[in-house]
């Protein structure tokens, strides 16, 4: 017994002949890959620059904090002769080691 299977009109031999062959858009894929590569390189450069800026800022903040602490210690030493004597002794000891 034969079965009749209905076909969609686009699947007739004439309909199949009219369908364009699908090609992989190599140019588009390559362009997207190139764009992602360029963005990756720029991203890496930007991340490195931000990390450098951050480490520079941290060093600057630490130096500023140290200067402020030195200023406070010097202000206290000017009012206390014992503290001033200790600071002078420490400075002389550092000078003797380094020079």
Q: Is residue 20 part of a domain?
A: no
Q: Is residue 22 part of a domain?
A: no
9-49 confidence digits (pLDDT tens): 656 555 555 555 666 666 667 888 899 999 999 999 999 99
Looking at the structure of the chain, the number of domains it has is: 1
Q: What are phi and psi of 86, to 5 degrees?
A: -65, -40
Q: Is residue 17 part of a domain?
A: no
Is pTM beyond 0.85 here?
A: no
Mean pLDDT value of segment 66-89: 93
Give the residue numbers spanning the domain of 62: 28-98
Structure tokens at 8: 């969609």
User: Rounded to whole angstroms, how far apart are CA atoms 38 and 59?
Assistant: 32
pLDDT band at 78 (very low <50, low <70, confident <90, very high): very high
Q: Rounded to an integer, what is the distance from CA 40 to the centroid of its chain?
A: 11
Q: Is residue 8 part of a domain?
A: no
Q: Is residue 13 part of a domain?
A: no
Q: Is residue 91 part of a domain?
A: yes
Q: Rounded to an integer, what is the distance from CA 23 to the centroid of its chain?
A: 39
pLDDT band at 4 (very low <50, low <70, confident <90, very high): low
Q: Is residue 21 part of a domain?
A: no
């Amino acid at each position: 017994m034969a079965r009749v299977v209905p076909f969609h009109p686009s699947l007739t031999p004439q309909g199949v002949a009219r369908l364009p062959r699908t090609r992989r858009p190599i140019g588009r894929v390559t362009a997207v890959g190139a764009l992602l590569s360029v963005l990756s390189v720029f991203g890496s450069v930007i991340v490195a620059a931000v990390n450098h800026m951050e480490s520079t800022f941290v060093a600057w903040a630490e130096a500023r904090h140290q200067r402020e602490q030195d200023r406070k210690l010097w202000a206290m030493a000017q009012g206390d002769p014992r503290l001033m004597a200790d600071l002078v002794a420490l400075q002389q000891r550092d000078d003797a080691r380094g020079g």
